[in-house]
């Protein structure tokens, strides 16, 4: 891996957004993911390499550390912010088709649920791992999920819930999604959700951590 790509991966892993960012303290004043990504593009590196050999590597490392409880929500949020700042530079190449992403992932919290920290973590992890993410936000109805799938053929869906009173809405949304698009894989997650619940409602995948969702999605396109 080229030195600059490793630096980009390092900035994402440790949440160094840009030169001005005071975090992490031991990288104060150094270039961040923002400047390094721009520099990599300016020096002619392929945008797809910047994504897959820089950003994705950094996000994968933080995702694994998070799953192993070596880092916590704030560190992951910082990494995601560094990643999303860098990815802004790559967006023109996504639109032009120069960079091919792994697939499209639609995500939202289910009807009635406004709690989106977990959903956002998954969304950012998946995006940072090379997927296009369509984030429908919070309190999303079955109709909205179904319409988003119609707009994005071949996509997969993530349903998130924090509450025991709203997780039951996953079952209805799952049924509607599968009725409209049987081949769409539906992933579920959130504090009260479990493998048992996944089996009960017949969803395709459950993970207690975002990295699990990333690995499952990647396995679908491997």
∠ CA 175-180-186, nearest 5°, is 55
Total site size for another protein, rule CB under 8 A = 31
Among 4, 27, 64, 191, which residue interacts with another protein (rule: CB under 8 A)? 191
Among 1, 28, 73, 202, which residue interacts with another protein (rule: CB under 8 A)? 73
**Is 218 near another protein (CB under 8 A)?**
no
**Is 188 near another protein (CB under 8 A)?**
no
**Is 137 near another protein (CB under 8 A)?**
no
- CA dist., res. 32 & res. 19, Å (int): 5
Distances (CA, A) of 128 to 41, 42, 46, 72, 103: 18, 21, 17, 17, 12
Min. distance of Cβ 114 from another protein in angstroms?
4
Among 13, 113, 135, 215, which residue interacts with another protein (rule: CB under 8 A)? 113
- CA dist., res. 125 & res. 157, Å (int): 14
**Is 1 near another protein (CB under 8 A)?**
no
Q: Which is nearer to another protein, 15 or 54 (CB)?
A: 15
- CA dist., res. 109 & res. 161, Å (int): 6
Tokens of 155: 């996509």
Residue range at the interface with another protein (CB under 8 A); choices 26-34, 56-64, 97-105, 106-114: 106-114
Distances (CA, A) of 75 to 12, 23, 31, 33, 72: 10, 10, 18, 15, 6
- CA dist., res. 219 & res. 213, Å (int): 10
- CA dist., res. 104 & res. 36, Å (int): 26
Among 19, 84, 194, 218, which residue interacts with another protein (rule: CB under 8 A)? 194
**Is 74 near another protein (CB under 8 A)?**
yes
Q: Which is nearer to another protein, 14 or 102 (CB)?
A: 14
Judged by the rule CB under 8 A, the positions of this chain that interact with another protein are 20-23, 69, 71-75, 77-78, 81, 111-115, 117, 120, 139, 163-166, 168-169, 191-192, 194, 208
């Amino acid at each position: 891996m080229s030195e600059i790509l490793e630096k980009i991966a390092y900035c994402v892993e440790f949440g160094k957004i840009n030169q001005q960012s005071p975090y992490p303290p031991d990288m104060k004043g150094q270039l961040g993911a923002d400047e390094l990504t721009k520099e990599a593009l300016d020096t002619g590196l392929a945008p797809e390499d910047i994504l897959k050999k820089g950003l994705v590597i950094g996000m994968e490392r933080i995702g694994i550390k998070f799953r192993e409880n070596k880092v916590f929500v704030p560190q992951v949020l910082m990494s995601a912010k560094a990643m999303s700042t860098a990815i802004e530079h790559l967006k023109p190449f996504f639109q032009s088709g120069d960079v091919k992403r792994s697939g499209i992932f639609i995500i939202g919290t289910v009807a009635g649920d406004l709690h989106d920290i977990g959903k956002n973590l998954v969304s950012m992890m998946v995006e940072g791992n090379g997927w296009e993410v369509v984030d429908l936000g919070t309190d999303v109805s079955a109709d909205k999920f179904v319409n988003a799938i119609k707009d994005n053929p071949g996509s997969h869906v993530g349903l998130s819930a924090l509450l025991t009173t709203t997780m039951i809405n996953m079952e209805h949304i799952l049924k509607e999604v599968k009725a409209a698009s049987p081949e769409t894989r539906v992933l579920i997650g959130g504090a009260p959700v479990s493998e048992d619940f996944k089996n009960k409602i017949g969803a395709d995948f459950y993970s207690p951590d975002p990295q699990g969702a990333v690995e499952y999605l990647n396995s679908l396109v491997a």
